Amino acid sequence: MRAMVLERLRTPLVMRERSAPESASGEILIEVGACGVCRTDLHVVDGELPNPKLPIVPGHEIVGRVAAMGAGVAGLAIGERVGVPWLGSTCGLCPYCRSGRENLCDRPLFTGYTRDGGYATHALADARYCFPLPERRDDAEVAPFLCAGLIGWRSYRMAGAGEGIGAEGTGPQALGLYGFGAAAHILAQIAAWQGRRVYAFTRSGDDAAQAFAKSLGAVWAGGSDEMPPEPLDAAIIFAPVGALVPMALKAVKKGGRVVCGGIHMSDIPSFPYRLLWEERQVVSVANLTRADAREFLTLVPQAGVKSEVTRYPLEQANEALADLREGRLQGAAVLIP
Ligand SMILES: [Zn+2]
Ligand SMILES: [Zn+2]
């Protein structure tokens, strides 16, 4: 197998040949068809997340086919198409796992961070955390759903939306999305489909991203330093920029909620208490549960969600990461081995 490997933090990935790994008990070996590039991968490469496994193969939006199965794998077949998300495994025993919050597990493994991921021709995964994917779309178009989609969905629920799927009139009517990248471009379509008014905030002056947001159902798009034309019921911040927290608080109405959807953010500057006053809330979203994934993957075809992807050959993983870092992408980057 071939893999793009991070050997030392803050250095480019290098292509390595390895022998294909054996699937241990409970694991499957996946022949990778596509792997999405997520902002979290940048945080791993940049050493912004504690204790990564090194060397590590990044990538946690894997779509591929089951090539081999270890002992005890149930419910999957050789050749079946599966997706592998960020949540690689959990302990099943800690208080979080036992209370339906496996996203907060005390002893988790994360794909492409603490276990090898999908910037490769093959990847191993714990079968219990993989999802069968219906054979309809191209692998590359499905890949962004596995993190951008799932974390976006969990953030959306945290913003008070998502309940009563398909029904109008529940949760926030006016929803702000700060940072219009892979997650927001998926979520905007769902929110618009559910009848919400989406306000998209991009880097100031990024006309292309603003036009893109409007084409996906946003009723307004502007710079993140602008105020929306109406106060927001809730806002989700996907950009890793702490200064957006007070800006979003300023844009939400009384009782409004600001959800931070990223795993890492620059420091949040101090702000006057009056921005938080009147029961405004700031919360974060961590990881995903398998229940989130089942719910979201069921919703995608109902809402007719499309993903816009830019394909890169696996060897160009460093170029894909650089384009994501510089904001040169519309939608999501996907590596094709
Ligand atoms: Zn646990
Ligand atoms: Zn991700």
> Contact at 8 Å (CB) between 207 and 188?
no
Q: In angstroms, what is the span from residue 116 Cα to ligand 1's centroid?
A: 20
Exposure pattern of 296-308 as b/e (b: 16+ CB <10 Å)?
Answer: bbebbeebebebb
Q: In angstroms, what is the span from residue 324 Cα to ligand 2's centroid?
A: 13
Q: In angstroms, what is the span from residue 47 Cα to ligand 1's centroid?
A: 25
CA distance 17 to 64: 19
What was the pLDDT predicted at 163? 56
What was the pLDDT predicted at 190? 95
The mean pLDDT of 173-196, rounded to a whole number, is 95
CA distance 29 to 1: 11
Q: Report pLDDT digits (tens) over 112-151.
A: 999 999 999 999 999 999 999 977 789 999 999 999 999 9
Residue 169 has pLDDT above 70, yes or no: no
Q: In angstroms, what is the span from residue 48 Cα to ligand 2's centroid?
A: 14
What was the pLDDT predicted at 167? 45
How do strand 122-126 and strand 27-37 relate by DSSP bridges? antiparallel
Q: Report pLDDT digits (tens) over 44-54.
A: 999 999 999 99
The mean pLDDT of 242-253, rounded to a whole number, is 98
Alpha helices in 222-289 (DSSP H): 244-251
Q: In angstroms, what is the span from residue 254 Cα to ligand 2's centroid?
A: 31
Q: In angstroms, what is the span from residue 272 Cα to ligand 2's centroid?
A: 32
Token pair in block for residue 62: 């894997």
* Nearest Cα residue to 146 out of 118, 178, 108, 104: 118
Q: In angstroms, what is the span from residue 118 Cα to ligand 2's centroid?
A: 12
Q: In angstroms, what is the span from residue 109 Cα to ligand 1's centroid?
A: 10
Q: In angstroms, what is the span from residue 165 Cα to ligand 2's centroid?
A: 24
pTM value? 0.94
Q: In angstroms, what is the span from residue 139 Cα to ligand 2's centroid?
A: 17
Token pair 């921005």: residue: 275
The mean pLDDT of 295-311, rounded to a whole number, is 94
Residue 237 has pLDDT above 70, yes or no: yes
What was the pLDDT predicted at 162? 62
Integer angstrom CA distances of residue 238 from 168, 178, 182, 279: 24, 6, 9, 22
What was the pLDDT predicted at 208? 94
What was the pLDDT predicted at 333? 97
Residue 92 has pLDDT above 50, yes or no: yes
